[in-house]
Amino acid sequence: MPDTPETRSFRLGVAGPVGTGKSSLIATVCRELATELRLGVITNDIYTDEDARLLRSAGVLDPERIRAVETGACPHTAIRDDVTPNLIAVEDLERDFAPLDVVLVESGGDNLTATFSPALVDAQIFVLDVAGGGDVARKGGPGIARADLLIVNKTDLAPYVGVDVEQMVKDAETARDGKPVIALSRTDPASIALLTAWVRSMAHVVRTGDHTPVDPGPMAPHSHIGENGEVITHVHTH
């Protein structure tokens, strides 16, 4: 179905390495904003609908508004190269619950270089966590350097993993040339308020037509082991 101003939502991607807290962040956004904004969620998992089920069981949004895309072996392909299954899922959700204000699209947990195509989302959040090590923000990559928002997540764990959050945020800010960075923990209400303020303000900017989606750039060439043990190499050039 073609997009019309009435049915088109703000499509917000959430990407980042496995286990950095993407689903939890989406649950937090839903918990905080579901009474204020009309929300929907699309999850991407390789072989299951695990993330969608987890979010439904969190009870933060009408379960019907949370749908899963199973991506097959290469999770970033579904958010970067062949976004059709995700676009169909987003448009179905927008049609079934029209009008929606925001559809959050969670990528399958991947590596440091996976990013969304601007053909699928209007803006994207890249999620790191302190448990991945304090130096990870310095390693760069398209998501860290150019996502619309970078989250340094699970700051409550920093003392246990010996990470200096302030330094990690400084490193991230240096890598990002002034683009926003939020140090987040689900146990820190002030950090959650910063996140929801950002979502709210992006939703407004997108709605008023004052936002141009930016492509963070392609991911590096890499290989996966396929279901039958074969090596599958991907070279993403766009």
Ligand X SMILES: Nc1nc2c(ncn2[C@@H]2O[C@H](COP(=O)(O)OP(=O)(O)OP(=O)(O)O)[C@@H](O)[C@H]2O)c(=O)[nH]1
152 is in an annotated binding site: no
Q: Which of 156, 194, 222, 234 binds ligand X (CB under 6 A)?
A: 156
Binding residues among 28-87 for ligand X as defined by CB under 6 A: 51
- 107 known member of a binding site: no
Residue type present at position 47: Y
Among 39, 154, 206, 216, binds ligand X (CB under 6 A): 154
Q: What is the 3-state secondary structure (H, E, C) of 207-233?
A: HCCCCCCCCCCCCCCEEEECCCCCEEE
| CB environment 20-33: b (16+ within 10 A), e (fewer) | bbbbbbbbbbbbbb
For residue 228, the minimal CB distance to ligand X (Å) is: 23
Tell which one of 34, 98, 145, 157 touches ligand X (CB under 6 A): 157
Number of residues that bind ligand X (CB under 6 A): 15
Between residues 46 and 205, which has the closer beta carbon with respect to ligand X? 46
Q: Closest distance between ligand X and the C-beta of residue 47, in Å?
A: 12
Neighbours of 44 (CB within 10 A): 27
Nearer to ligand X, 8 or 56 (CB): 56
154 is in an annotated binding site: no
In eight-state DSSP terms, residue 38 is -
Residue 102's SS3 state is strand
* C-alpha–C-alpha distance, residues 71 and 133, integer Å: 28
- Going by C-alpha positions, the residue among 121, 152, 110, 122 that lies closest to residue 19 is 110
18 binds ligand X (CB under 6 A): yes
Residues that bind ligand X (CB under 6 A): 18-24, 51, 109, 153-154, 156-157, 185-186
User: Which residues fall in the annotated binding site for GTP?
Assistant: 16-23
